[in-house]
Amino acid sequence: MLGGRAIYDEVSYFYCDAFDFNFEFLGQPNGNETLVERGSLEDKSYALIYLNGDVPNALFTTGRPSAETTAVAGLIRHRVNLAPFRERIADPDFALEKVTNQTVLVLQGGGAMGAFACGVMRSAR
């Protein structure tokens, strides 16, 4: 905005809490090829992940754990390819928060400074 060249990489977010039903919606649902369901609406624990190829673009969720919603937001933000997990994504017990959503490369001459940088990156997770 205002001529700045800042990158906007936040995942859009919408929520609704009406009567006895609430839900959250993250990302952009248009242009997606595949929909993957987790859980069930009858159990009031349901998520719908929108994939373009093997990359998540959006999430509709109600009654699912907040850690899962946060994990999927990271997967959307970092455009993570979920092909290695394709068969397990629909399993509501598969922990999406364990899928690595970002790889960090630390370049340094191999001394203590590189080890320190790795420790800082690890603790920031």
Assigned CATH for 13-123: 3.30.390.30
Domain ranges of the chain: 13-123
122: left (phi over 0), alpha (psi -120 to 50) or beta: alpha
In DSSP terms, which residues pair with 21 in a beta bridge? 18
Q: Residue 122 has what pLDDT?
A: 62
Task: At 36, list the tokens.
Answer: 């993957």
Q: Residue 31 has what pLDDT?
A: 83
Residues of the chain with pLDDT > 90: what percent?
A: 55
pLDDT digits (tens), the chain, 125 positions: 577 777 777 899 999 999 888 999 999 988 888 999 999 999 999 999 999 999 999 999 999 999 999 999 999 999 999 999 988 999 999 999 889 877 766 666 666 666 776 676 666 55
What is the average pLDDT score of the chain?
A: 85
Q: Residue 113 has what pLDDT?
A: 67
- Output the pTM of the full model: 0.77
